[in-house]
Amino acid sequence: MEKIYAPWRHDYVSKTVYAKEKKNLKNECVFCQQFEEKRDRENLIIKRYEHCALVMNRYPYNAGHLMVLPLKHKAELCDLDSNVRAEIFEIVNIGIESLKKILNPDGFNIGINLGQAGGGGIPSHLHVHILPRWNADTNFLATIGDTKVICTDFMKVYDRLIEELK
């Protein structure tokens, strides 16, 4: 089996990115801290709903990479009541439809990485990824050049999503 080496993800996945800040974070969780701060633009929070929020991923795999998170610090789907689970997937749908209008992707990956072994970079706070995909959106650059090309202005996508969801 061949392996693709992605060293740029190490600090994020191993949590060393937030290690220095951890003592100062609410629940030792960057998401909970951002929800408390009420600095939505700076923290890339697109919209808050009754139980959840739609957020741009600060470390996107592709342009328009979004996440849906419960506002409460919960790690597992079973920790959420049925209303919150239903709201999460309603917001996933809203995110998909908004991204279709704004970025016109060819498809989507929707996923939840439960637990650190499941790939969760921040496994203590459940989040659902909405990842727009385009035909041929992967290439050799990430593998040999340690570079991922995202050809869309990050904050322009944020602003367009804010406008779309008014």
Residue 42 CB contacts under 8 Å (≥ 6 apart), including other chains: none
Residues in the chain: 166
Q: Does 125 participate in catalysis according to the annotation?
A: no
User: Would the CA dihedral through 66, 72, 85, 12 be positive or negative?
Assistant: positive
Residue 159 · residue 56 · CB < 8 Å: no
* Distance set, CA 71 to CA 41, 68, 101, 109 (Å): 16, 9, 26, 23
Q: Which of 51, 65, 125, 127 is catalytic?
A: 127
Q: Is 53 helix (H, G, I), strand (E, B) or coil?
A: strand
Positions marked active-site: 127
